[in-house]
Amino acid sequence: MIDFTPNPIAIQLGPLPVYWYGICYALGLLAAYQVMLREGRRRGLDTDLIINGLIIVAVAALIGGRLYHVIDQWVLYKDDPLTIFLPIRKAADGSYAFAGFSGLGVYGGLLTGTIAAWAYLRWHHQSFWRWADVVAPALFAMQAVGRFGNFFNQELYGPPTNLPWGIAIQCKNRVAEFACPTGSDPLATLGQHFHPLFLYEAISAVIGMLFLLWLGRRYSDRLRAGDLLLIFFIWYSVTRFSLEFLRAGYNWTISGIPTAQIVSGLTIVLATTVLIARHLRKGLSVGEIEAEERAAKAAAATGVADADATADADATADPDAVSSIAEPSAAEPSAAEPVLEPPGRDSSTAAAGPDEAVDGPASPDRDGPDGP
C-alpha cells in the first residue's frame, strides 16, 4: 500500500506557492498539444491554429470545469461563496489563506470547451468534425496526465480498501463520509487507505487514447469525420458512470442518484444515437475525404509546376528565332528605304523579271505581234 502523502506545493517562489496541481494541468496541456500536432499533420490540417485554439479552449474548460465542481461540491462553498472565485480557504479564526487552485469537474470543462472549440473553428472556416478526430485522443492525453494533480491534492479517492495500490489520505483532506475521529491530528492517516479513483481514470484515459489512435489509422475507410470524438464521449462516460459507485455518499445527487451518473447515462445514449444515425446516411469516410484532399493538392502542385515549366521554356527560347521575328532580314529592304537601280535602266522595268520587261519593246530574240 502507498503511505506516502505528498506536499501539494512543488516550489515556493517568495510569497507565491507553485502547486503540483497546476503543474500537472500544464503538462497535460503539453501532452494534448503534442498529440494534436502529430494528428493534425497526419490528416493534412492547418496546425498553425492549434496554439491559439488550445489557449481559448483551455480557458473555457477551466471556467466550465470550475462551475461544475462548485455545483457538485456545493456543501464546501455554500457558507463562504468567496472561495468559489478565489484560491483561498477560510481558517478557524476567520482569516483567509491561499489554498491553491483545485477543484474542476470534467463534464463542465467538456461542455464549455467543446462550445469554444466549435466557435473558434467556425471563425476560421474549418471543419469542426475533422478537428474533432484530432482533439479526441488529445483529450485522453490531457486527462491521463492532469489527473495526477488530484493525487498531490489528495482528492478524487474512493472508499477504504486493502488493495496493494490503496493510498493514504490525511485527516484534513477527508470528506465527511470518511472523516477522522474528533481531535485527530490533521496530518494523520490512521493507517487507512483508499481507492485512487484518479488513477483508475488515468489508466482508462491511456488505454482510450491508444485505442482511438489505432482506430483512426486502421479503419479510416469506415469512420466518418467526428466519430472519434463521439467514441471518446461514450468511453469516458462509461468510465465515469462505473467509478461513481465508488464515490457513493459524498457526491452530488438528484433524488439519490449521483448527478455524474445521470449525465454519463445521457451522454452515452446521445453520443451512441448520433454515431449510429450518421452512419445510416450516405457520406464520405475519413479515408475518402483525405484521399480527395491529397489528390486536389497534387493537382494544384502539378498545375503550378506546369506553369513554371512553360515560363522557363519561353524564357530560354532560341534567340536567333526571336531576333528573326523582331528584326527584318538583311536581304529584304525595308519599305522605308528606296530601291537603287543600276545606271541606264528605267525604273519602270526594275520590277520585271529577268526574261521580260513590263510595257517595253519586244526583245530582238523574240517575235513581236508583227513579226514575219
What secondary structure letter does DSSP report for 348?
A: G
Residue 106 falls within a domain, yes or no? yes
Locate cell 488513477: which residue?
A: 199
Number of structural domains found in the chain: 1
**Position 354 in a domain:** no
The residue-averaged pLDDT of 233-259 equals: 84
46 phi and psi, to 5 degrees? Answer: -80, 95
Residue 118 burial by CB count (10 A; 0-12/13-18/19+): exposed, middle or buried? middle
Is residue 228 in some structural domain? Answer: yes
User: Does the structure show a pLDDT above 80 at 367?
Assistant: no
Mean pLDDT within 187-198: 93
Q: pLDDT by residue (tens digit) across 308-324? A: 666 666 666 555 544 55
Is 371 within the bounds of a domain? no
pLDDT confidence of residue 360: 46
Which range is least confidently modeled, 2-6, 252-256, 318-322, 357-361? 357-361
- Kindly state whether residue 365 falls inside one of the protein's structural domains: no
Phi-psi region of 86 (alpha: psi -120 to 50; beta: other; left: phi over 0): beta
For residue range 71-83, what is the model confidence (pLDDT) as tens digits?
A: 777 767 777 777 7
CA distance to 346, 360, 361, per residue, from 343 (Å): 8, 17, 19
User: Which residue type, as a one-letter code, is found at position 109?
Assistant: G
Cell of 170: 490525511
Closest CA to 144 of 24, 23, 1: 24
Residue pointed to by grid coordinates 455545483: 71
Smallest CA-to-CA distance from 220 within 280, 311, 287, 294 is with 287
pLDDT at 88 (0 to 100): 64
Which tens digit of pLDDT belongs to each residue from 11-53? 988 888 888 988 998 999 999 999 999 999 999 899 999 999 9
Q: Does residue 323 lie in a domain region?
A: no
Q: What is the pLDDT of residue 355?
A: 45
Indicate whether 321 belongs to any domain: no
**Lowest-pLDDT choice from 63-72, 180-189, 259-268, 270-279:** 63-72
pLDDT band at 350 (very low <50, low <70, confident <90, very high): very low
- Flag whether 359 is in a domain: no
Task: Lowest mean pLDDT of 87-96, 150-159, 239-248, name the range.
Answer: 87-96
Q: Mean pLDDT for the chain? A: 81
Which domain, by its residues, includes 202?
Answer: 9-91+98-297
Q: What pLDDT was estimated at residue 97?
A: 62
Question: What is the reported pLDDT for 293?
Answer: 78
φ and ψ at residue 279, rounded to 5 degrees: -85, -15
Burial class (CB in 10 A: 0-12, 13-18, 19+), 295: exposed
With a cut of 60, say whether residue 84 has pLDDT above it: yes
